[in-house]
Amino acid sequence: MIPKIVFFDCDGVLIGNETWDAVLNSIKFPRLENERLTRLYYSGKLAYKDWIKKQEIYFRQNFTKDIYKKQILSKIKINPEAKILVKFLANMGIPMAIISSGETEYVKIVAKSLGIETFRVNTFFHFAQNGRFAHMDYIAEDPDAKVIQIKEICSLYGCQPEETIFVGDSDNDIKAFQLTKHGILYSVGTKSSQKAAWKKVGKLTEVNKLLSYLL
């Protein structure tokens, strides 16, 4: 199967550093608390909106537009393997899109750096006139937003999700894997993400070999 589109998650896939983790560090969000809330959400014991509200408390106390620019946006590190894979796909004429749960400004930088024109995000920061964080918006719960956005982009390209590939690295990508039926898990992942994945790779450059074989 020659994929009609290759979709990428952003954090942990296209960028080597976890930018969202850097955001949480910058607002002094306790690491153990974040891990606890993440477990509660994915086990169905915490509503997504309540998770966001708990994060916003720390954002309002510690986050500004200036911190975002200097500590986050200026330190994005593109995964070298991603550059090789994106160039390979571009040479093959295969369209690409980023589907991220992250915030629009840093995903925009990643997309521009890699030459990927199409991207979608699920987080939008809003700052007051004095530069302090005001609130954040989101489209839907992260896994559901990815499904919505994949379907939207497939509609634009006139193809079905099953004719595409999604490269992700976490449980956040499981619904995208299930939708496309061609989820490629990059990194170790969890038992759930491993089970949902169509293929598993330790390096993004292995995707080149996989697609070459399919071609």
pLDDT mean over 168-174: 93
Contact call for residues 166 and 160 (beta carbons, < 8 A) = no
Contact call for residues 6 and 214 (beta carbons, < 8 A) = no
67-84 tens-digit pLDDT: 999 999 999 999 999 999
* Residue type at 161 in one-letter notation: P
DSSP state, residue 102: S
127-151 tens-digit pLDDT: 999 999 999 999 999 999 999 999 9
pLDDT of residue 210: 86
What's the token pair of residue 87? 């160039």
For 176-192, the DSSP string reads: HHHHHS-EEEES---HH
What's the token pair of residue 64? 């500004």
- Model-level pTM? 0.94
Strand 133-137 to 124-127 pairing: antiparallel
